[in-house]
């Protein structure tokens, strides 16, 4: 009887010992023993977490250094005043062109066959396209000499120098089409013409009042 108990205890101890050996080899607790002639069963390694691919970082455009090398215009670096010229000057030039056409059409009955009574020889209307293609184009490159002429300094940032260059370019473009004095002369002539036309219109009105219906 004692022999039976001893044998039973030996079997139980052996079973428990074998079970703990399986638990040591297998993460997470007990695992069934491998069949004879096969490799022990192990848990598969955890998959690495998926991460979103990173977008490539775009290289910043190279503009140059003020008074050290040529500068290639980057419109995004212009200060608000210089950037506004790239829009306001073409818009103003387009309006002037429309007004010239309307004015000539208005005085056409008195033109005696001349196609254009009001002179537009200053080519102000061409400013619209030239401002965009010459002064505000990202393909425009300025030499060191041009930077100096625009008032750039060695201590200027690229943005400050580019803004000076754009402003200077627009000014030179306007006054190459017609001088500052030329613009003022045209204004004076139009003021005089408008006053004369208003006087003429008034006299015609008076004549209407005199003539019987």
150 and 208 fall within a common domain: no
Res 25 pLDDT > 80? no
198 and 153 fall within a common domain: no
118 and 81 fall within a common domain: yes
Strand segments (E) across the chain:
71-72, 141-142
The tens digit of pLDDT for each residue in 196-205 reads 989 999 998 9
74-78, 106-110, 115-119, 208-212: which range is least confident on average? 115-119
Q: Is the pTM of this model over 0.75?
A: no
In a domain, 213, yes or no: yes
**For position 4, what pLDDT does the model report?**
46
The crossing angle, in degrees rounded to 10, of helices 80-106 and 158-177 is 20
**Domain, as residue range, for 189:** 179-213
122 and 152 fall within a common domain: yes
From the list 88, 65, 95, the residue with the least C-alpha distance to 156 is 65
76 and 172 fall within a common domain: yes
| Residue that the structure tokens 């002037």 belong to | 96
In a domain, 17, yes or no: no
From the list 95, 81, 49, the residue with the least C-alpha distance to 162 is 81
In a domain, 38, yes or no: no
In a domain, 92, yes or no: yes
Tell me the longest C-alpha to C-alpha distance in the chain. Answer: 155
């Amino acid at each position: 009887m004692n022999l039976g108990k001893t044998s039973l205890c030996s079997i139980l101890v052996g079973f428990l010992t074998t079970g703990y050996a399986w638990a040591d080899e297998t993460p997470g607790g007990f695992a069934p023993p491998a069949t004879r002639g096969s490799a022990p069963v192990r848990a598969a390694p955890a998959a690495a977490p998926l991460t979103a691919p990173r977008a490539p970082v775009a290289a910043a455009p190279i503009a140059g250094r003020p008074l050290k090398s040529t500068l290639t215009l980057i419109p995004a670096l212009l200060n608000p005043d210089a950037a506004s010229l790239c829009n306001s000057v073409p818009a103003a030039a387009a309006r002037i062109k429309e007004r010239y056409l309307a004015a000539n059409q208005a005085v056409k009955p008195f033109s005696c066959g001349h196609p254009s009574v009001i002179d537009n020889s200053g080519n102000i209307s061409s400013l619209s396209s030239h401002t965009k293609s010459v002064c505000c184009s990202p393909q425009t490159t300025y030499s060191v000499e041009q930077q100096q002429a625009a008032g750039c300094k060695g201590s200027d940032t690229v943005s400050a120098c580019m803004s000076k260059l754009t402003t200077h370019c627009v000014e030179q473009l306007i006054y190459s089409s017609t001088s500052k004095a030329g613009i003022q002369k045209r204004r004076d002539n139009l003021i005089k013409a408008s006053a004369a036309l208003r006087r003429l219109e008034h006299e015609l009105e008076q004549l209407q009042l005199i003539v019987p219906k």
